[in-house]
Structure formats: structure tokens, C-alpha cells
Amino acid sequence: MAANQDSERLKREAARRALDLVEPGMRLGLGTGTTARHFVDLLGEKVAQGLKVRCVATSEATLAQAKGLNIPMTTLDDMPELDLTVDGADEVDPELRLIKGGGGALLREKIVAAASLSMAVIADASKAVARLGAFPLPVEVVPFGLVSTRRHIEKALEGLGAPGELVLRGGPKPFVTDGGHFILDCRLGAIADPERLAAALSVIPGVVEHGLFIGYARVAFIAGADAVRTLGRL
């Protein structure tokens, strides 16, 4: 319980640092997850104090939270370019490569990140890793042809010399993403070459998106017990 409270405090500290990047009039992407939730909460306080921003959410859950806080929301179709997206991550490496999708929102998160001029990652120190892959890599797939798609992913992993165990999220009652897809969590242990893996996964029919975010994050605020560390810069 105490450890959980501490972790929430660190997430909020990281979120507070990202809030400093927000300027009046900005077009913002709002991430998903327990860390991003703190950012949306803090942004809601600023909006209540008069800050003017317009935002796009990366999930139905974030949209509901933001609307509840009276944060002005729109769609990516109405506002296709964003100034800044603030989002959490499951893992962050020193080159600001990320694993995302632990909460199942990777597809919209990546679309929103790609529409943003900058992306800031907020995380507690447990997410900072020397090498990606201890966290199972989420791969979003269409339900049609699941078994076949799964085999192709396994073959691709073997071809890279990195066989892994694939687990359908939710098991017999599969987890369904906001886009109506399933998620295969790939237990890899470590990812030797994230760029090669990303390229290999991207060309498999049936794979909608994978949780490797490479070249999106410009800055990360990593909250540890004593201080918030900044990786990169805007």
C-alpha cells in the first residue's frame, strides 16, 4: 500500500514537470494509463484556472476523464497537427525508445504521437531501463486470422534469433482494444535490435501496430525518490 502511494506520488511528480511545457493556446495529445491520468488531472486544474488549450485523447478512458474535468476536447480529424503529446510508457531506454501498450492504447497513442510536433514521456524510475524487452511487447492484431498472424509473428521473431512466448491478452475472453482488435503480448526478455524488430513486425499482415515507439519521444521526465531526471530535450 505504501509502495503504491509512493509510486503514484512519483508519477504525479513526473506529470507536474510535463505540465511546465504547456503554454496557452497549445494543441495537446493526452496519453493513456495511470501516469498520463495524473497529467490530465493536473491539466484539468489549470483549465479550471483559465488556461486555454485544445486536446485530443489517445483512448476512450482518457477522453472520459478529460471531459469530466471540462478540458476542451476535439478529434484528430478536426485538429490533425498537435504541438505536444504527453504520455506514459512501460519502458524507456537511454535513447528514448519506448515500449508502450500495457494498457492497450498503443494504436491511438502512436497515431497521436505521430501527429505531434513533440512528445514528452512521463514515468516513475521503475520504467527506465538500459535495454528494452523485460516488459512484454504488445502487438495489436486484427481478430480475423489470429492464429495465422500469430505464426507469422513467431516466425519473424525466430528469424531475428529472438524467439519469444506470445500470450493473447485476456486469454479465453480476449481483451478488445478501442479499435476492436486483440493484443498479443510478446515475452522476449530483451530486445537486441528494436529497429529491426519494429521493421519486421510492421510488414506482417494482420498486425495493426506494435508497442515499440522509436523516434517519437523528444524528452522524458523520470521521477525517482529524490529527483525528477530529464532525458533528452524539446
Q: Report which residue type is found at 174.
A: P
Residue of 109, 158, 195, 209 marked catalytic? 109
Binding mask 72-111 for ligand R5P (x = CB under 6 A): ---------------xxxx---------xxxxxxx--x--
Task: State the distance between the two ends of the chain, measured CA to CA, in whole angstroms.
Answer: 35
75 is in an annotated binding site: no
All three cell numbers of 66, joined, read 478529460
> Is 109 an annotated catalytic residue?
yes
In the bound state with ligand R5P, the residue whose beta carbon lies nearer, of 30 and 156, is 30
Helix axes 194-202 and 146-159, enclosed angle (nearest 10): 150
Residue ranges of the alpha helices (H) in the chain? 2-19, 34-48, 60-68, 106-114, 146-159, 194-202
- How far, rounded to the nearest angstrom, does the alpha carbon of residue 81 sit from its chain's CA centroid? 18
- Rounded least distance, CB 158 to ligand R5P, Å: 26
11 is in an annotated binding site: no
Backbone angles phi, psi at 124, to 5 degrees: -85, 165
83 is in an annotated binding site: no
In the bound state with ligand R5P, the residue whose beta carbon lies nearer, of 156 and 216, is 216
Residue ranges of the alpha helices (H) in 69-227? 106-114, 146-159, 194-202
Point out the residue whose Cβ comes nearest to ligand R5P. 33
Pairing of strands 212-213, 219-223: unpaired
How far is it, in rounded angstroms, from Cα 22 to Cα 216? 18
Q: According to the binding rule CB under 6 A, does residue 164 interact with ligand R5P?
A: no
Binders in 108-137 for ligand R5P, by CB under 6 A: 109
Q: Report which residue type is found at 23.
A: E
Binders in 19-78 for ligand R5P, by CB under 6 A: 31-36
In the bound state with ligand R5P, the residue whose beta carbon lies nearer, of 103 and 206, is 103
- Rounded least distance, CB 12 to ligand R5P, Å: 11
In the bound state with ligand R5P, the residue whose beta carbon lies nearer, of 3 and 147, is 3
User: Cell 506482417 appears where?
Assistant: 204
As annotated, the active-site residues are: 109
User: Binding residues for ligand R5P, per CB under 6 A?
Assistant: 31-36, 87-90, 100-106, 109
